[in-house]
Structure 1
Amino acid sequence: MAEDIETKIKNYRTAPFDARFPNSNQTRNCWSNYLDYYRCQKALEAKGVDVLPCDWYKRVFTSICPLSWVQKWDDQREDGTFPGKI
């Protein structure tokens, strides 16, 4: 299974269609994948498991989110003012 995940991540080109976000406005998709990445990391690190599967979420949000948003959210997480629940 780990090989399958690694292969998918290596062959990744752009965010695939997500039925939860059918509209052309991908703001919620961006936000959800950003949160999912850090939630995944937190959960897997707590279990002591490899966090490689979480890279999928990071690749998705970095391909659809504006860099300024990601930088702002990263700064907010560092400052402890991030509005999302991770």
Structure 2
Amino acid sequence: MASKVPPSFGRAGKVINDSGPKGFNPGLIVLLVVVGLLLIFLVGNYVLYTYAQKTLPGRKKKPISKKKLKKERLKKGVAAPGE
């Protein structure tokens, strides 16, 4: 009696065995492509950033106008020349 399997279970076992691996899931392929492109983008940006930091000269500061210099000197208590 133990060797006999009811027909409903016998068919289900065959369906499970037939549904074996048939290749990659398309969703998995899309996910891998998107993650790969994102990773390449981030690594490329990091490499370009470090290269720019090493090779490009620093930014020049804007020249301070004479009015601002005069105001700063007055705030410090130093008399501006010519006054």
Q: TM-score, normalising length from structure 2?
A: 0.29
Q: TM-score, normalising length from structure 1?
A: 0.28
**Larger-Rg structure:** 2
